[in-house]
Structure 1
Amino acid sequence: MLAAVGQFCATSSVALNRQICNGLASKAALLGAKMLFLPEASDFISESKEQTFSLTTNLTDSVFLGDMKQAAKQNNIWVSVGVHEKAKSPNQIYNTHVIIDALGEIVAEYRKIHLFDVDIKNGPRLMESETTLKGPSLGKVVPSPLGKIGLQTCYDLRFAEQSIAQRQRGAEILTFPSAFTIKTGEAHWEILLRARAIETQTFVIAAAQVGQHNPKRASYGHAMIVDPWGTVLAQCENSGEPSLAIAPIDLTFQQTLRVQMPVMEHRRHDIYPAL
Structure 2
Amino acid sequence: MTRVALLQMTSGIDPAANARALSSAVREAAEGGAQMLFTPEMSGLLDRDRARAAGSIVSEVENPSLAAVREAASKAGIWVALGSLAIAREDGRWANRSFVIDPAGEIAARYDKIHMFDVTLASGETWRESAAYVPGEQVVTIAGTPVGRLGLTVCYDIRFPGLFEELGRLSCDAIAIPAAFTVPTGNAHWHLMQRARAVEASAWVVSAAQVGEHADGRRTYGHSLVVDPWGDVRLDMGGDAAGLAFAEIDPARTAEVRAQLPSLANRRDIPTSGAQ
Scaled to the shorter chain, the TM-score interval is: over 0.9
User: What are the residue-to-residue correspondences of 1:1-275 with 2, within 5 Å?
Assistant: 1-81=2-82, 82-90=84-92, 92-214=93-215, 216-240=217-241, 242-269=242-269, 271=271
- SS of 2:35's partner is strand
Once residues 157 and 120 of structure 2 are traced to their aligned partners in structure 1, the CA distance between those partners, rounded to angstroms, is 17
- Number of residue-to-residue matches in the alignment: 271
Once residues 6 and 138 of structure 2 are traced to their aligned partners in structure 1, the CA distance between those partners, rounded to angstroms, is 25
> How far is 1:266 from its partner?
1.6
Once residues 137 and 162 of structure 2 are traced to their aligned partners in structure 1, the CA distance between those partners, rounded to angstroms, is 16
> How far is 1:89 from its partner?
2.3
> How far is 1:143 from its partner?
2.5
> How far is 1:239 from its partner?
3.7
- SS of 1:268's partner is coil
CA gap of 1:123–1:4, structure 2 versus 1, over 3 A, is farther
> How far is 1:47 from its partner?
4.4
- SS of 2:68's partner is helix
> How far is 1:5 from its partner?
1.3
> How far is 1:237 from its partner?
3.1
Q: Amino acid of the residue matched to residue 4 of structure 2?
A: A
The two structures, once aligned, show a CA RMSD in angstroms of: 1.5
**Equivalent pair of 2:141/2:149 in contact (CA under 8 Å):** no
**Equivalent pair of 1:237/1:243 in contact (CA under 8 Å):** no
CA displacement, residues 151-191 of structure 1 (integer Å, 9 cap, x when unaligned):
00000011111011011112110001110001101111111
Once residues 68 and 48 of structure 2 are traced to their aligned partners in structure 1, the CA distance between those partners, rounded to angstroms, is 23
> How far is 1:24 from its partner?
1.4
Once residues 85 and 270 of structure 2 are traced to their aligned partners in structure 1, the CA distance between those partners, rounded to angstroms, is 40
Once residues 123 and 219 of structure 1 are traced to their aligned partners in structure 2, the CA distance between those partners, rounded to angstroms, is 15
> How far is 1:270 from its partner?
5.7
CA displacement, residues 21-75 of structure 1 (integer Å, 9 cap, x when unaligned):
1121122111111000000000011241112221111112212111000111111
Once residues 124 and 5 of structure 1 are traced to their aligned partners in structure 2, the CA distance between those partners, rounded to angstroms, is 28
Structure 2 stretches of 5 or more lacking a match? Answer: none
Structure 1 stretches of 5 or more lacking a match? Answer: none
- SS of 2:264's partner is coil
Once residues 118 and 238 of structure 1 are traced to their aligned partners in structure 2, the CA distance between those partners, rounded to angstroms, is 23
> How far is 1:228 from its partner?
0.4
Q: Amino acid of the residue matched to residue 29 of structure 1?
A: A
Once residues 77 and 272 of structure 1 are traced to their aligned partners in structure 2, the CA distance between those partners, rounded to angstroms, is 46
Once residues 204 and 141 of structure 2 are traced to their aligned partners in structure 1, the CA distance between those partners, rounded to angstroms, is 17
Deviates more, 1:229-238 or 1:4-13: 229-238
Once residues 53 and 215 of structure 1 are traced to their aligned partners in structure 2, the CA distance between those partners, rounded to angstroms, is 14
CA gap of 1:238–1:105, structure 2 versus 1, over 3 A, is same
- SS of 1:246's partner is strand
Deviates more, 1:11-20 or 1:209-218: 209-218
**TM-score by structure 1 length?**
0.94
CA displacement, residues 237-260 of structure 1 (integer Å, 9 cap, x when unaligned):
3343x3122111111111121012
